[in-house]
Amino acid sequence: MKVGFIGLGIMGKPMCKNIVKAGHEVCFYSRHADVVAELEALGAKGKANAAEVASESEVVITMVPNSPQVREVALGENGIVSGGKKGLVVIDMSSIDPVETRSIGAELAKHGIEMIDAPVSGGEPKAIDGTLSVMAGGKEELIEKYRPLLSTMAASVVRCGDLGAGNVAKLANQIVVACNIAAMSEALAFSKKMGSDPSLIYQAIRGGLAGSTVLDAKAPMVLSRNFKPGFRIELHIKDLTNALNAAHAINGYVPLTGQVMEMMQALKADGCGKDDHSAIAKFYEKVSNVTIEK
């Protein structure tokens, strides 16, 4: 299959590598000479812009930071529409506002170009080993057609509904994760303030109804004072901004999301934007005047 790839950052580069390793014919666009050299050494072909990528591809995957970048790559000068032929499929694997996904998809459709939104969960380690979780939105027959391609990068591909539903699922995921980390941090700070050992409290509650994947992934990080980023606060702010914007567009009500967003904004103002999102615990430490540690 002739595959184009645009967006070769922390996540995109290993994802593209896995497509190449699976034997697909890959072309790509990157402004970074070292990335171009690395991927061309594997057999992929660098192109001058997104239009050139689209002109030589059956399907183009985009993995860029946010909604404006997807719009620019798809519809801007030298974008996908400039080079894409009727029947081209765009799979946007970025995490963006689902309202924008639907708008961009409608514009692409005017040029005979189909779109799937397929944001991912799992972070860089799972991008490297090809075991991401994909939340896809779009026509069922299209997703099934490209499921084998997506499976070169992912262990799980779930269709969530029509176009935009993938990003709805991703934002729902980010709401749950953010609120879980905040609740965990609140509970651990409460425990410490009460004079109890938060590490023992964590062990006591993790096997009950309060136990979760988030709790087991993030509580040990907080207790060991390890805030090395797996997923940075500044990126979670981006996702919650998209969640709030999408909710407001439909008169939705997401008060917990708004509250955690304010915590994250305070942490960013304190210079913690590049910390792991488990550093939400630092917000509680500051207002409670405690340190959560073993």
Q: Are 118 and 16 in a shared domain?
A: yes
Over range 37-43, report the average pLDDT.
Answer: 97
Instruction: Place 121 in a pLDDT band, splitting at 50, 70 and 90.
Output: very high
The sign of the dihedral angle between the CA atoms of 207, 212, 218, 219 is: negative
CATH of the domain at 248: 1.10.1040.10
Among the candidates 112, 140, 163, a domain finishes at: 163
CA atoms within 13 A on the CB side of 2: 11
Q: Classify residue 287 by burial, with Cβ atoms within 10 Å: 0-12, 13-18, 19+.
A: exposed
Helix (H) or strand (E) holding 5: strand 2-6
Residue that is last in its domain, among 136, 163, 190: 163
Q: What is this structure's pTM?
A: 0.92
Show the tokens assigned to 291. Answer: 């340190």
Hey, how many other C-beta atoms are within 10 angstroms of the C-beta on 33? 9
Q: Are residues 189 and 105 in the same domain?
A: no
Return all residues near 165 (Cβ < 8 A) that are at least 6 apart.
Answer: 98, 117, 135, 136, 137, 159
Q: What is the mean pLDDT of the chain?
A: 97
Asked if 81 contacts 74 with a C-beta cutoff of 8 angstroms, the reply is yes
For the question of residue 193 being annotated catalytic, the response is no
User: What is the pLDDT, as a whole number, of residue 82?
Assistant: 96
Question: 218 and 117, same structural domain?
Answer: no
Q: What share of the chain is helix, strand, coil (3-state, %, to 5)?
A: 55, 15, 30
Q: What is d(CA 209, CA 226) in angstroms, rounded to the nearest whole number?
A: 26
Distance CA 108, CA 102 (A): 10
The helix (run of H) or strand (run of E) holding residue 62 is strand 59-62
pLDDT digit string (tens) for 180-232? 999 999 999 999 999 999 999 999 999 999 999 999 999 999 999 999 998 99
Residue 293 in domain = no
What tens digit of pLDDT does each residue of 244-294 get? 999 999 999 999 999 999 999 999 999 999 999 999 999 999 999 999 998
Q: Tokens 């509680």, residue?
A: 284
Domain containing 100 equals 2-163
* Residue 91 token pair: 């799979």
Average pLDDT over residues 79-91: 97
Final residue in a domain of this structure, among 163, 183, 212: 163
| One domain for residues 159 and 256 | no
| Separation between Cα atoms, residue 232 and residue 237, nearest integer Å | 9
Residues 83 and 23 occupy one common structural domain: yes
Considering 170, 192, 218, 282, which one is annotated as catalytic?
Answer: 170
82: domain CATH number is 3.40.50.720
- Do 194 and 231 belong to one domain? yes
Same domain, 203 and 143: no
Same domain, 107 and 147: yes
Q: Which of 134, 128, 136 is nearest to 16 (CA)?
A: 128
Residues 197, 129 share a domain: no
Q: Note whether residue 272 is domain-resident.
A: yes
Residue 105 shares a structural domain with residue 235: no
Question: Which pLDDT does position 230 carry in this prediction?
Answer: 84
Same domain, 64 and 134: yes
Contact (Cβ atoms closer than 8 angstroms) between residue 96 and residue 70: yes
